[in-house]
Amino acid sequence: MNPVLRRTLRYIWPYWPLLLISALCSLVVGAMDGAFAYLVAPVLKRIFSGHDVRIFLLVPLGVIALFVVRGLCRFTYDVTIKLAGQKAIQDIRNDLYASTIRKDMAFFNRQATGELMSRMTNDIGMMQEGMANVVTGLFRNLISFVSLLGVVFYRNWQLAIFCFLVLPATVYPAQLIGKKIKTAARRSLEVMGGIGSILQETFSGVKVVKAFGLESRVIERFRGENAAFLAQYRKFIKYESLAMPVSEMITSLGVAAVVWLGGSQVMSGRMNPSELFSFITAMIMLFNPVKQLQGSYNVLQRSAGGAERVFQLMDQQRLIVDRDDAIHLDRASGQIELQRVSFSYGDEPVLQDISLEVQPGRMVALVGPSGSGKTTLAALLMRLYDTSSGAVLLDGHDLRSVTLDSLNRQVALVDQETTLFNDTIANNIRYGKVDASDEEVAVAARAAFADDFILQLPEGYDTNIGDRGVRLSGGQRQRICIARALLKDAPVLILDEATSALDTESEKMVQKALDNLMQNRTTVVIAHRLSTVLHADTIVVLEKGRIVEVGTHVDLVEGSGLYSRLHGLQFSD
């Protein structure tokens, strides 16, 4: 069995009670198909040869009863098997999301957001289509095929052999076309990922698109990607549409042989007309599940294209994981030490031979030109990446020797992106501590100077702030993020350009909130504006991934190094 199919079926196996009910109902439906074909001959014989009026009157009632029972069984079968399939798809979607969100930052740096969204929606949607069609029809069509096959061979095994001589001839074209369908489906999904990336980029950056008049350009780009998708999907349509006509043309040879040979036997007296009619009825009914199974095979191939991409994403291994002997770190004092740390993105060196020590409760500022490695250094402190060489220590423990869960509790982040979620203000603050009470949320908001504007909103803390907090101003969003960090109450705080995007009035309010947040915490501040780090205990100046100066503001500004030059540029007036 195909490994992808086997893995997909493992997701449906936990719902075997539903599968069992479906199997029993499909057994009834399939058996009725065979019974219907088998009873045609004796019923017709008694009606037309024996002139049995009673049977003639009962046949319509029997047909109605037969199809009522068959309909109920088919309904039960479809409901249970589809429910099992949807439950399996739900599990696959949950596992894919969980495995993706837990991957390393390096993974997200490589993957476009739109591509990930496409795999979560389009690829799983294609798997869902396969699960709904293939699994739904598998039991019923197989049992119908077996029961009708028995009737055909029972009625006339010679004609049955002629009928089935052509079936093996349909296997190779079906496999060949199925592979083409799988390849075309996979490639169309890859192109659809590109469409998803364009949608994500343009909708999230619509302000820039409008400001620079880029509508025509992004529309042209979208049309090009959409045309590429159509080119791939056209191949898929061609191969899928070709499958059934090829199969029917080949099987028509067997049907023609049966009609000619059967008719010859009837005319020579070796077979009566009712038996031939029963045989032809069973044969015609038999080709329906055969075609359905072949169609299911094509859908399965198309679904496999999506499944391969889903499992490929799911199986990508994390690089940042707990060691087997990792220790749980209780609340740290906040002592940070970097021992000859170097780091590279692939072959591109970002940090080189960084050594630094920060005492608990102190504030250290990282300054320097863009691209000097400040944000990367902060990411190493949170172990979003592992060092290429050297070690990062917290309270004397190498971060690689500490469990990720306990390390996460030691660090709080406030950055310039002000990441908020489409949820209430209270729940956005509660991301810092998921089990926090309403009072704890309110205390954190007051300490962040956010309580006043929150209470002025129509629903207060229960106000939904929209996608990325679009209903709030920049300063308000930043104070919500600070309240979230306050509620987390971590001993180490990282501020990444926390006030760079704010106006002067908002910056003053946010700075007051930050002053409350930094109390009794080891604080690492990343800043371009030197006015925000004048009172840092230590200022570390980075250039091209190396530390070029360390000292206080007074010491550094009086020197003739990079910090003094940056200060002169920013405060030239």
Q: What is the DSSP letter of 132?
A: I
Q: What is the per-residue DSSP string for 286-336? A: HHHHHHHHHHHHHHHHHHHHHHHHHHHHHHPPPSS---TTPBPP-S----E
- State the pLDDT confidence band at 393, using cuts at 50, 70 and 90: very high
189 compared with 505, residue with greater pLDDT: 189
Q: Which helix (H) or strand (E) holds 353?
A: strand 348-358
Give the pLDDT band (50/70/90) at residue 374. confident
* pTM more than 0.75: no
Model confidence at 133: pLDDT above 80: no
What is the helix, strand, coil percentage profile of the chain, to 5? 65, 10, 20
DSSP letter, residue 364:
E
Classify residue 307 as exposed, middle or buried by CB count within 10 Å of its CB (0-12, 13-18, 19+): buried
Kindly report the backbone phi and psi dihedral angles of residue 176, in degrees, each rounded to the nearest multiple of 5, phi listed first. -65, -45
pLDDT of residue 77: 79
525 or 152: which leads in pLDDT: 525
DSSP for 12-26? HGGGHHHHHHHHHHH
Banded model confidence at residue 416, pLDDT cuts 50, 70, 90: confident
Rounded Cα distance between 343 and 431, Å, is 30
For the chain, the average pLDDT equals 78
Question: From the CB of residue 499, how many other CB atoms can be counted at a distance below 10 Å?
Answer: 24
Q: Is there a contact between 492 and 520 (Cβ–Cβ < 8 Å)? A: no
Cα dihedral 302, 306, 308, 310, rounded to 10, equals -160
The partner residues of 394 in beta bridges, in order of sequence, read 336, 397
What are the C-alpha distances in Å from 129 to residues 124, 268, 283, 434? Answer: 9, 51, 29, 37
Question: What was the pLDDT predicted at 455?
Answer: 87
Query: Is the pLDDT reported for residue 349 higher than 70?
Result: yes
* Domains in the chain with CATH codes: 3-315 (1.20.1560.10), 336-570 (3.40.50.300)
CB 160 within 8 A of CB 73: no
Q: Is the pLDDT at 58 greater than 70, yes or no?
A: no
